[in-house]
Amino acid sequence: MTNSVKPSPDLAGESVPVDVMGTARAFMESRVLLTALELDVFTRLGGGGTAAEVAASGRTDPGATARLLNALVALGLLVKEGSSFSPTPVAARFLVRGARDDSVDALLHQSSLWETWSGLTEAVRTGDPTPRREAAARGDDWTVPFIAAMHRRAAQRAPLLVEAAGVEGARRLLDVGGGSGAYSIAFAQASPALSAEIVDLPAVLPIAERHIADAGLVGRIATRAGDLRSDDFGTGFDLALLSSICHMLSGDENRDLLSRVFAALVPDGRVVISDFLLAEDRASPPQAALFSINMLVGTPSGDCYTESEYAGWLRKVGFADIVRRDLPGPASLMIGTKCR
pLDDT at 14 over 90: no
Query: What is the pLDDT, as a whole number, of residue 10?
Result: 52
What is the per-residue pLDDT across 224-278, written as a single tens digit (0 to 9) for each? 999 999 999 999 999 999 999 999 999 999 999 999 999 999 999 999 999 999 9
Cross-strand bridge partners of residue 239 = 173, 270
Q: Within 10 A of 141 (CB to CB), how many other CB atoms are there? A: 11
Indicate the pTM of the whole model.
Answer: 0.85
Of 252 and 155, the structure prediction assigns the larger pLDDT to 252
Out of 109, 151, 211, 247, the active site residue is: 247
Query: What is the pLDDT, as a whole number, of residue 132?
Result: 61
Residues in the chain, overall count = 340
**Contact, 37 vs 108, CB < 8 A?**
yes
Q: Cα 102 from chain centroid?
A: 17
Q: Quick one: average pLDDT of 32-44? A: 97
- 31-40, 138-147, 264-273, 294-303: range with lowest mean pLDDT: 138-147
Q: Which CATH number fits domain 18-100: 3.40.190.80, 1.10.10.10, 3.40.50.920, 3.40.50.2020?
A: 1.10.10.10
What does pLDDT average to over the chain? 90
Burial class (CB in 10 A: 0-12, 13-18, 19+), 57: middle
Query: What is the pLDDT, as a whole number, of residue 191?
Result: 96
Q: Which CATH number fits domain 135-337: 3.40.50.620, 3.10.350.10, 3.40.50.150, 3.30.1380.10?
A: 3.40.50.150
The radius of gyration of the chain from alpha carbons, rounded to an integer in Å, stands at: 23
Q: Which amino acid is it at 55? A: A
Q: From residue 155, how far is each of 162, 186, 205, 279 by CA, in Å?
A: 11, 8, 17, 26
Let me know the angle formed at the C-alpha of 309 by 306 and 315, rounded to the nearest 5 degrees.
140
Going through the chain in order, the beta strands assigned E by DSSP cover 49-50, 78-81, 84-87, 172-176, 195-200, 221-225, 237-243, 265-278, 305-306, 320-326, 331-337
Q: Quick one: average pLDDT of 52-62? A: 96
Of 329 and 145, the structure prediction assigns the larger pLDDT to 329
Reduced to 3 states (helix: H, G, I; strand: E, B; else coil), residue 45 is: helix
- 9-23, 164-178, 190-204: range with lowest mean pLDDT: 9-23
CA separation for the pair 301, 319 (Å, rounded)? 24
Q: Cα 158 from chain centroid?
A: 14
pLDDT at 210 over 70: yes
Residue 155's pLDDT band (boundaries 50, 70, 90)? confident
Q: Calculate what percentage of the chain has a pLDDT beyond 90.
A: 74
pLDDT at 2 over 60: no
Q: Quick one: average pLDDT of 34-59? A: 96
pLDDT at 204 over 70: yes
Of 106 and 312, the structure prediction assigns the larger pLDDT to 312
CA separation for the pair 179, 205 (Å, rounded)? 7
Per-domain residue ranges of the chain: 18-100, 135-337
Residue 140's pLDDT band (boundaries 50, 70, 90)? low
Distance between start and end Cα atoms, the chain: 70
151 is catalytic: no
Of 5 and 247, the structure prediction assigns the larger pLDDT to 247
Signed CA dihedral, 216, 222, 228, 234: sign only: negative
pLDDT at 12 over 90: no
pLDDT at 188 over 80: yes
Question: What φ, ψ does residue 252 adopt, rounded to 5°?
Answer: -65, -40
SS (H, E, C) 117-163: HCCHHHHHHHCCCCCCCCHHHCCHHHHHHHHHHHHHHHHHHHHHHHH
Q: Identify how many contiguous H helices and E strands the chain contains and give both numbers.
A: 13, 11
Consecutive H or E run containing 311: helix 307-317
**Contact, 335 vs 263, CB < 8 A?**
no
Let me know the angle formed at the C-alpha of 91 by 89 and 92, rounded to the nearest 5 degrees.
60
Query: What is the pLDDT, as a whole number, of residue 148?
Result: 67
